[in-house]
Amino acid sequence: MADKGTREIHLLGQNVNNFKGTLNGEKSTLSKLIELTAKIENIDRIRFTTSHPHEFKDDLVEVYDRVPELVSHVHLPVQSGSDRILKLMRRRYNVEKYLNLVDKIRVVRP
């Protein structure tokens, strides 16, 4: 694709950061997929959509520090600012966890 002029790769999924696949016969995660994608010559930008706060793990935060091709835009939906509503929605995180995640991302990508 890059040899045909593609400069950006957009990884898309209902909950893309929960990606679990195999790459080169080994179990993989979204962060590993991003790092592998960044090695493709002439790919200038990588982005992913849609993330879920509960599945946004530290390895994915850390990839923002290691992969400059990963765009700084983070699609991280705020489903509610109320712990009560999040619980009623059966979300496995609360407002504090969401805000802590945003802070972690800002440390590596201000």
* pTM beyond cutoff 0.85: yes
* Contact predicate 48/30, CB 8 Å: yes
pLDDT in tens, 47-80: 999 888 988 999 999 999 999 999 999 999 899 9
Distance CA 23, CA 32 (A): 9
User: Which CATH number is 2-108 given?
Assistant: 3.80.30.20
Which amino acid type is present at position 31? S
- Residue 26: its pLDDT value, please? 85
pLDDT over threshold 90, residue 8: yes
Distance CA 80, CA 91 (A): 10
